[in-house]
């Protein structure tokens, strides 16, 4: 089997380097070339992963040797880079969030569909074995009619001075990335969409509570879904440690997930900790699912490239399509609109 030839467009987002680390030693992949507008960052990545550093986007996307590109630029540059790659006929793996505006999301969708290229968003939570099993249980009706689903997706990066300086400082630039809730709650928003479908409304509070280095550091959104289900999305960029990550409640049962985000993964835990359990009305004890708990968020992030390769080979559908990627952006932008106005916001968003 001919190795898939891959190029990279920017290493601004650190997840791209994790993907390169996973792919570097695979016999079915060749990492060919990269471009980065930050010369030092590009040089370091090229040396680390054996990539040729090229001086323009076009020098990467117009290389006939390259089959696919991974895009890890600042979020507000995604649409421009996707348009260039799609016009050149390259398959695309795009780092989340999809874009900073719905208009740019629509540009991405139009480019992908007009040129007929393979495209996927990079959302690692859909590939986590515990999340996959939890969705199987939920879809099988373990909880009966669901009422409230609470999902936390937290990190502690704003307590780390190194994150808000140097190459990663763009994360706290409102032009490049809107805000930290936008950047990180997109994961949980996509998870809710994957589990429950698109929401019908949202009410939210998003603000700076303990820091002032980013546009916001903590947020809470309550989404309403079809049938009235409430989805509570908690996102914090200042969480030091935690355990419980997901609670799903229904009239027939409950599903609980532990150790599902960065603070929970890094928190001290018993050696025999079990990440998932469920109980149905009338049961005398919890059913436990002893699945592996990733040692770090890096392990979850590293799960993204293989499904993308399988998709490129026609072995599976796109992990997250362009139209699906737009939904999580709309959900998070709706939460910001609610927080700014103090009102319930209904979907679809009005321009």
Same domain for 131 and 91, yes or no, is no
- pTM for the full predicted model: 0.97
The answer for residues whose C-beta is within 8 angstroms of residue 98's C-beta and 6 or more apart is 78, 104, 105, 108, 121, 322, 325, 326, 328, 329
Same domain for 98 and 203, yes or no, is no
Q: Is residue 340 in some structural domain?
A: yes
pLDDT digits 0-9 by tens, 271-315: 899 999 999 999 999 999 999 998 888 999 999 999 999 999 999
Q: Is residue 77 in some structural domain?
A: yes
**Peptide bond before 97: cis, by omega within 30 degrees of 0?**
yes
Same domain for 103 and 247, yes or no, is no
* Domain residue limits at 136: 125-296+330-346
Q: State the Cα–Cα distance between residues 266 and 237, nearest whole angstrom.
A: 15
Q: In a 10 Å sphere around its CB, with 0-12 CB exposed, 13-18 middle and 19+ buried, how is residue 179 labelled? A: buried
Same domain for 136 and 112, yes or no, is no
- The pLDDT of residue 36: 97
Contact 192, 152 (CB under 8 A): no
| Long-range contacts formed by 136-142: CB under 8 A, 24+ apart | 137/255, 137/278, 138/195, 138/248, 138/255, 141/252, 142/250, 142/252, 142/253, 142/255, 142/278, 142/280
Q: State the Cα–Cα distance between residues 330 and 97, nearest whole angstrom.
A: 10
User: Where a domain ends, among 117, 136, 171?
Assistant: 117
Q: In the sheet where 201-207 sits, what is the strand order?
A: 287-289, 276-280, 253-258, 244-250, 146-152, 230-236, 218-224, 201-207, 345-346
Instruction: Please report which confidence band the pLDDT of residue 83 belongs to, taking 50, 70 and 90 as the band edges.
Output: very high
Same domain for 130 and 276, yes or no, is yes
**What is the number of domains present in the chain?**
2
Same domain for 153 and 81, yes or no, is no
Instruction: Please report which confidence band the pLDDT of residue 350 belongs to, taking 50, 70 and 90 as the band edges.
Output: confident
User: Where a domain ends, among 85, 117, 149?
Assistant: 117
Same domain for 94 and 146, yes or no, is no
pLDDT digits 0-9 by tens, 330-344: 999 999 999 999 999
pLDDT digits 0-9 by tens, 4-37: 999 999 999 999 999 999 999 999 999 999 999 9
- The pLDDT of residue 294: 87
- The pLDDT of residue 296: 87
Query: Beta strands 91-95 and 68-71: pairing type?
Result: parallel
Same domain for 227 and 151, yes or no, is yes
Q: Is residue 167 in some structural domain?
A: yes
Mean pLDDT for all residues in the chain: 96
Instruction: Please report which confidence band the pLDDT of residue 53 belongs to, taking 50, 70 and 90 as the band edges.
Output: very high
Give the rounded percent of residues in the chain with a pLDDT score beyond 70.
Answer: 100
pLDDT digits 0-9 by tens, 106-161: 999 999 999 999 999 999 999 999 999 999 999 999 999 999 999 999 999 999 99
pLDDT digits 0-9 by tens, 164-223: 988 889 999 999 999 999 999 999 999 999 999 999 999 999 999 999 999 999 999 999
Same domain for 258 and 180, yes or no, is yes
- The pLDDT of residue 351: 64
Q: Is residue 321 in some structural domain?
A: no
Which CATH number covers residue 83? 3.40.50.720
Average of pLDDT values for 63-90?
98
Length of the chain: 351
Give the rounded percent of residues in the chain with a pLDDT score beyond 90.
Answer: 94
User: Where a domain ends, among 86, 117, 148?
Assistant: 117
User: Does the structure show a pLDDT above 70 at 77?
Assistant: yes
24 secondary structure, DSSP code: T
Contact 60, 9 (CB under 8 A): yes
Q: Is residue 207 in some structural domain?
A: yes
306 secondary structure, DSSP code: H
User: Which H or E element spans position 218?
Assistant: strand 218-224
- The pLDDT of residue 205: 98
Nearest to 123 by CA among 19, 27, 21: 19
């Amino acid at each position: 089997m001919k190795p898939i030839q891959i190029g990279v467009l920017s290493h601004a987002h650190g997840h791209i380097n994790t993907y390169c680390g996973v792919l570097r030693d695979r016999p079915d992949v060749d990492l060919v070339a990269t471009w980065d507008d930050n010369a030092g960052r590009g040089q370091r990545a090229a040396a680390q992963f054996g990539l040729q550093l090229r001086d323009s986007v076009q020098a990467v996307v117009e290389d006939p040797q390259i089959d696919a590109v991974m895009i890890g630029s600042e979020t507000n540059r995604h649409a421009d880079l996707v348009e260039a790659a799609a016009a050149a006929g390259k398959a695309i793996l795009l780092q989340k969030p999809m874009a900073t505006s719905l208009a740019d999301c629509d540009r991405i969708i139009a480019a992908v569909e007009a040129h007929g290229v393979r495209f996927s968003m990079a959302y690692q939570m859909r590939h986590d074995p515990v999340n996959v099993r939890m969705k199987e249980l939920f879809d099988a009706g373990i909880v009966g009619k669901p009422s409230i689903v609470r999902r936390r997706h937290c990190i502690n990066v704003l307590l780390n001075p190194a994150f808000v300086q140097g190459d990663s400082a763009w994360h706290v630039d409102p032009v490049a990335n809107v805000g930290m809730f936008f950047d990180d709650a997109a994961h949980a928003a996509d998870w809710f969409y994957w589990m429950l479908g698109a929401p019908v409304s949202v009410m939210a509070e998003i603000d700076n509570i303990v820091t002032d280095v980013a546009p916001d550091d903590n947020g809470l959104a309550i989404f309403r879904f079809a049938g009235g289900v409430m989805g509570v999305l908690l996102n914090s960029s200042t969480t030091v440690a935690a355990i419980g990550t997901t609670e799903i409640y229904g009239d027939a049962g409950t599903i609980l997930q532990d150790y599902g985000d960065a603070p929970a993964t890094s928190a001290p835990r018993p050696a025999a900790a079990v990440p998932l359990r469920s109980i149905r009305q009338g049961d005398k004890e919890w059913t436990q699912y002893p699945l592996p708990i990733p040692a770090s968020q890096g392990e979850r992030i590293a799960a993204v490239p293989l499904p993308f390769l399988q998709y490129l080979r026609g072995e599976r559908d796109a992990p997250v399509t362009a139209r699906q990627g737009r939904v999580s952006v709309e959900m998070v932008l709706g939460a910001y609109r609610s927080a700014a106005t103090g009102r319930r916001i209904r979907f679809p968003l009005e321009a």
